[in-house]
Structure 1
Amino acid sequence: MSKGQDDDEPIFIRSDWGTSRYVYNPRNPVGMGLIIGFLLFAAVAMYSLRASSSWSEGEWRDAVHAAVRDLEATPQTLGSWTGGYQSMIRDAVEESGEGPTSGGGLHIEEADDPYDKDADPSVDLFEVRAEDVDTAFCLSVSPPEPDSVLTRVEVSLSISFEVGRC
């Protein structure tokens, strides 16, 4: 049985780039397997990292539904340190357990136009969007947020929402 030429090649060789580091030897079958394995591992890691940091349409929809449910389920406490309805909505979406762990580029903007005389004064409108998806939700929150809250106030929220921009 004759030995092939590749059998004499070491798995690791000194780098040709002037350093004394050892690198995989592509002329050895095991070295080539390690190179390919590392590249596949890196590709899978990059894909999973991207997938865990962005919203899918289903995750986004489920997160908004869960946030609305959670905000309506119990009275919410407003105070000078809470940041109002906008931060409550952001926190509820982030704590829904759906979507990316890093927040994924949420945008919650108050959509009320103070100069719109046809606007319903009994609700505050918030447009909720995420960077990775095209779907936006328009949340109608009542009662309207108090202008300035110096003490703690508990409010029971009623929220309706529609798919689309406000």
Structure 2
Amino acid sequence: MKKLLVIGFSAALLLSACGEDTTSGAAEKAPATEDAAKETGNAKQEMMRFYMSVPNTINATDADLNAFEMAQTEGTLPEAEELQTMKDAAKASAEETSAAVEGIEIPETLEEQKTDIEAALASIKESYDMKAEELTKEASFEAANAKFQEADEKFNALLEAQELNPSSIYNEVSQ
């Protein structure tokens, strides 16, 4: 009986020693896993922060363009000299917005997505350049809006890659 007790006690010591090694190994791996989770969380936060800054930048400069587009949609555009004044203000607004989008800086934390972000911002800039050009004509914005839609799709792919919900910058800036 004593032999069994000694064998059981030895086995318990051996198992507890092995269990401690496994636990300490897991404890050593935990900080690395936590760092990776923090980096992923920071990347998500930074992507969301950056994404929300884009419509804020655009909304700071596109009010006259939005007013023109709204009046055009509602069929309430003024005539003659007032129309030209409104078009000129909308054109200036589109040009200013294009310059503002071009000036958006991409945070270093989003370096991995920089190429895709630059492509999306280039599509938005081109959309506003197209709108400025159209305002010298009859002002049909379908092609420019399609170009903006391309940017939304690019941004949504970036958001989904970060496990974030897709959204629409166009909806944010068209109000």
TM over 0.5: no
* Larger of the two Rg values belongs to structure: 2
Q: Which structure is richer in relative contact order (CA contacts within 8 A, separation 6 or more)?
A: 2
Higher helix share: 2
Higher strand share: 1
The TM tier, using the shorter chain, reads 0.3 to 0.5
